[in-house]
């Protein structure tokens, strides 16, 4: 029996995925990416509430990652802002929330925290609207 020669598969072109630096906006190959979680009370995770209050930043190198860390380190971390972000997540994803109790169950917040978060949100919205 004659052995069949294996046909050589054409070499597939390697796809180079690109990343975008959160500081300078440069694009670069994903193999060169550096990332770090930074504190940010406006950030909640859609997939894992363990990461609520943290933002994953992407940089083109360690120098820009350090600058991003410094920017977020100086940004005020406000508990009410984090609660407001959790409430927004609950109100914009999944089944509709029909009561404060239900909102508490979905966010893990108590009613006084929900009220403080809503007050913070309203104050923040008003201050942004005023020039």
Kindly state the smallest distance separating residue 65's Cβ from Zn ion, in Å: 8
Q: Is 68 in the site for Zn ion (CB under 5 A)?
A: no
- CB nearer Zn ion, residue 24 or residue 118: 24
- Are 19 and 59 contacting, i.e. CB atoms less than 8 angstroms apart? no
E-state strands within the chain: 18-20, 27-29, 34-39, 54-59
**Distance from the Cα of residue 28 to its chain's centroid:** 20
Residue from 21, 57, 90, 114 in contact with Zn ion (CB under 5 A):
21
| Cα 46 off chain centre by | 8
Token duo for residue 60 = 């083109």
* Per CB under 5 A, 24 contacts Zn ion: yes
Q: For residue 65, state whether it binds Zn ion (rule: CB under 5 A).
A: no
Contact pick of 38, 44, 57, 60 for Zn ion (by CB under 5 A)? 60
CB closer to Zn ion out of 58 and 107: 58
Residue 34 lies near Zn ion (rule: CB under 5 A): no
In the complex with Zn ion, which residue's Cβ is closer, 63 or 101?
63
**Which of 55/64 has CB closer to Zn ion?**
64
Residue bearing tokens 């046909």: 7
Measured over the CA atoms of residue 42, residue 48, residue 50 and residue 51, the dihedral's sign is: negative
């Amino acid at each position: 029996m004659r052995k069949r020669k294996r046909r050589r598969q054409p070499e597939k072109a390697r796809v180079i995925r690109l990343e975008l630096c959160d500081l300078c906006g440069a694009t670069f190959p994903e193999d060169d990416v550096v990332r770090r979680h930074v504190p940010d009370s406006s950030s909640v995770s859609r997939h894992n509430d363990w990461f609520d209050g943290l933002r994953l930043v992407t940089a083109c190198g360690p120098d820009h990652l350090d600058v991003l860390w410094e920017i977020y380190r100086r940004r005020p971390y406000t508990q009410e802002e984090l609660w407001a972000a959790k409430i927004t997540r609950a109100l914009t994803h999944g089944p509709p929330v029909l009561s404060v109790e239900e909102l508490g169950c979905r966010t893990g917040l108590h009613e006084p925290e929900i009220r403080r978060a809503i007050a913070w949100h309203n104050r923040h919205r008003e201050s942004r609207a005023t020039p």
